[in-house]
Amino acid sequence: MLKELLQAWRGRNTLRLMMDQLDQMLAHDRWMFQQAADTYWRQQDWKEVEAPLYGRDKQVNELERSIRREVVRHLTLHSPGEDVPACLVLMSVVKDAERIGDYCKNIFEVGKVFQYEYTAPRYLEPLKDVGRSILEMFDRTREAFRESNSEKARSVTNQFEAIRRKCDLIIEQLLRQKEELPTDEAVSYSLMCRHMKRVSAHLANIATSVFAPIEDLDFMDERLGGADSNSNNGS
């Protein structure tokens, strides 16, 4: 789908600029995710991470606004037609990229607030595996979008499905566990599961824009098996 839309806009500087800006958003998001996760794993001091992380989030928001302004201006100055679908795709994926930044802040805030030791490797190690998979998803998503590569995009959605299953299993285990796990630690693991699953779901949504029809954008997480559908409730 995206390849055909890009061919319709081939050679237009406006499109190239917006694509570059979206790639910058995802690069900032990846950095934010890495820093937030490192804060959660106690590999970074939250005091050193907080200011630059929130600074990156502002850059992500500014890029989103810039892309939206360019889309509106383009549609205003040019006759509607083949450009409209491409504009709709861009408006959708930049929102996903902006939401990823919000969930990265949520991850950071959990790491900042929970200041005790982690005592349950049976939860912590799978969560670390999920974090590593999400960093791979960032790289694949950026490549798939830049190259309009459907195969790479589908590999992102497959990876999301694996992450979704793993996060759901961790939550189920937390709810059923009878060990002496402190409540605040269990809540910390649960929140980390939710936030990482949402980051991966938004990456999957961006990837689906490469091969899926416009009407399926923003719903791929539900089609893949019921990730939390209230994705617009992050902060």
Residue range 1-10, pLDDT digits in tens:
566 556 555 5
- Res. 197 pLDDT band, cuts 50 70 90: very high
Q: What is the number of residues in the chain?
A: 235
Long-range contacts, 222-231 (Cβ 8 Å, 24+): 224/157, 224/160, 224/161, 224/164, 225/161, 225/164, 225/165, 226/164, 227/160, 227/164, 227/197, 227/198, 227/201, 228/194, 228/197, 228/198, 228/201, 231/99, 231/198, 231/201, 231/202
- Mind listing the pLDDT tens digit for each residue in 35-94? 999 999 999 999 999 999 999 999 999 999 999 988 888 777 765 555 677 777 888 899
pLDDT value at position 225?
46
What is the pTM for the complete model shown?
0.88
- Res. 220 pLDDT band, cuts 50 70 90: low
More confident residue, 5 or 95: 95
Mean confidence (pLDDT) of the chain:
86
The sign of the torsion formed by the CA atoms of 205, 206, 208, 213 equals positive
Q: What dihedral angle (degrees, nearest 10) is formed by the CA atoms of 18, 23, 25, 28?
A: -150
pLDDT value at position 95?
94
More confident residue, 150 or 12: 150
Out of 23-27, 91-95, 156-160, 195-199, least confident range: 91-95
What value does the mean pLDDT take over residues 181-203? 95
Task: Please list the alpha-helical segments (H only) found in 148-178.
Answer: 150-176
In contact, 203 and 232? CB cutoff 8 Å: no
Residue 111 pLDDT more than 90?
yes
Distance between CA atoms of residues 125 and 167, nearest Å: 12
